[in-house]
Amino acid sequence: MNKTEFLYPRNSYPDLFTDFYADINGGAAAETPCETQADNWWCRSQTSRGAVLDKAGYAMLHIVDGKIYNSPGSIKLFETLAYPVNPRVPGLIFLMNLNQTEAAGKSVVFCIDIFFQNNKLNSAATEILTTALKPVYERHDQDFSERYKAEPGRILAGLVSECGVMDFFTATDSDSFPDELLHAGLSAYRDILTLTNDDVPTDEDHVAMNQHRQRLLEWLTVDDIGIQFATASGVPMSVIEAYGYPPVVRY
């Protein structure tokens, strides 16, 4: 068996993001989905490359009886990264996994955030995302001020805005909390694209974006925990590079 039976991330997420990116980039921008597998893992990935998003890829990955946090375990992971063409437009990261290990039991990790490709804070963009996510926490009697539980600078080499969510929780079949967070975050990201996509970038912005992507490339290769889980369990780096790595870095 090379797939888990975990509820989260939802099996519907690949189709959800296929449609989401097609709505932004156009359906013709989507490459053919790719399924790869071995005895203990299975992965479906797809990438969209278009006029708005230079590269937007996702992967749904199952690892069964692998090595998670240095302990025998299994994981179901969905991750997507979107890199806009315009360096003044924030990128998107969404990550969710349910992992179960012999050492720590079962837990859910949820992250949705934006990152600034030109390393310049856009407070209006951060406000859009924060404003969209806060009511979801309030509806579920969760403390919004405690939503970012990662160490400062931990996610994407410290390049994310840290205005979104990086949280850990227990999910049940009847709990709509993570789905509501995801849909609120995606709606907010569309508003952020509308806000920023007509901004005219400078040469300085393009230089900063290329430096940003180079730093991300290094971090994903060396420090990303999810990639370490995957490679330790036998997933080839080529599978990860196809969906998650930045577009070609230009100098």
CATH number at residue 220: 3.40.1500.10
- In-domain check, residue 63: yes
Q: What is the reported pLDDT for 251?
A: 40
Q: What pLDDT is recorded for position 171?
A: 62
d(CA 116, CA 19): 24
Does residue 251 sit within a domain? no
Can you give the pLDDT at residue 250? 54
For residue 250, being part of any structural domain is answered with no
2 is a domain residue = no
pTM metric for this prediction: 0.93
- Convert the pLDDT of each residue in 46-64 to its tens digit: 999 999 999 999 999 999 9
Answer whether residue 122 is part of any domain: yes
- Stretches in the chain below the pLDDT threshold 70: 151-153, 171-174, 249-251
* Domain-located, residue 247: no
Q: Is residue 156 part of a domain?
A: yes
Per the CB < 8 A criterion, the answer to whether 60 and 14 are in contact is: yes
The number of domains in the chain is 1
Peptide bond into 236 cis (omega under 30): no
Task: Identify whether 178 is part of a domain.
Answer: yes
Question: Measured over all CA atoms, what is the biggest interatomic distance in the chain, rounded to whole angstroms?
Answer: 51
Which residue range is the domain that position 233 belongs to?
13-242
pLDDT at residue 173, rounded to an integer: 53
